[in-house]
Amino acid sequence: MEVDRRAFIASLGGVAAVNLMDHEAKAEALEHYMEDKLDEMVAAQQPEKFPTVAEIEAQIETRPYRRGTGSVFTGQRGQNVKIIEPMPDKPTLQDFFRLRFAPANHVLQSATRAMKTGMSEEIILACLLHDCVLSLIKPDHGWWGAQLFEPYIPEKSAFAIRYHQTLRFYADDDAGYEYPDQYYRIFGHDYQPPQYIADTYKMLKNHKWYMEPRLVTVNDLYAFDPNAKVSIEPFEDIIGRHFKQPKEGLGYDNSSSAHMWRTLARPDNPL
């Protein structure tokens, strides 16, 4: 094992401190240092231990909320919820990004990647919107998300949003998509998707639009870069071309998902 001299001397308090040590103390310090380093190396090579389905289930009664609750309804990291800014009278998609989906880093980073990798505008839009509904509700977020946006976006984008949830459970080496470690963490390493997901996957494999949701999964990032500066600005043109903003504002156009937008707008309403 190589010893990083600078790091070793620094760990002892610097050159002056080392000069005060006798030979035996130095030898002992070096031995401890090497033992610690070795432990670190071994730890780094241990594969992460993922929970089992049973372990995840055992956590349910340790929380005052369910994991499927949309993020606007729960406090972050165990804290109480905060007063939220009311939506403007005729809210736009951008208003919802700013006031209800924020910080939206995950979808913005995914859409940024989709743009960099030369995806179609329908796919870039799908990446931008694919997980926004998690603010409202989490189970079956592909279906809920597609329903939320369907009245306003191209059919291919809605298809991609609806089915990215299913394809996340199935690797596709040719497309460059691996089963995510994050799913071992959140579902358990022995998790099997339910039958309706398996059936949906079977349907998608033979569908002419298979690649639409697949490309959302390929651009779906779990390794967030906390320093990446992302904003909605680079996507304004695509939103302008493909998102049919209702003149009454989202929630007030009587569309099939208007009530979902209103729920996002007023999550504190008791009824």
Residues that bind Fe ion (CB under 5 A): 131, 220
Which residue, 182 or 254, is less far from Fe ion as judged by CB? Answer: 182
Give least dist CB 135 to Fe ion, A.
Answer: 13
Give least dist CB 27 to Fe ion, A.
Answer: 53
Q: Which residue has the tokens 């996002």?
A: 264
Give least dist CB 144 to Fe ion, A.
Answer: 11
Exposed e or buried b for every residue in 61-89, given b needs 16+ CB within 10 A? Answer: eeeeeeeeebebebeeeeeeeeeeeebee
Which residue, 122 or 220, is less far from Fe ion as judged by CB? Answer: 220
Give least dist CB 255 to Fe ion, A.
Answer: 22
Q: Which residue has the tokens 């309706």?
A: 196
Please list the alpha-helical segments (H only) found in the chain.
5-11, 15-19, 23-45, 53-58, 93-96, 105-116, 121-129, 141-149, 155-167, 181-187, 195-205, 211-219, 236-242, 258-265
Give least dist CB 28 to Fe ion, A.
Answer: 51
Exposed e or buried b for every residue in 193-203, given b needs 16+ CB within 10 A? Answer: beeebeebeee
What type of residue sits at position 125? L
**Rounded to 5 degrees, what are φ and ψ at 256?**
-65, -15
Give least dist CB 223 to Fe ion, A.
Answer: 12
Contacts for 41 with CB less than 8 Å, ≥ 6 apart? 1
Distance CA 252, CA 246 (A): 8
Contacts for 108 with CB less than 8 Å, ≥ 6 apart? 128, 230, 231, 232
Give least dist CB 58 to Fe ion, A.
Answer: 25
Which residue, 34 or 221, is less far from Fe ion as judged by CB? Answer: 221
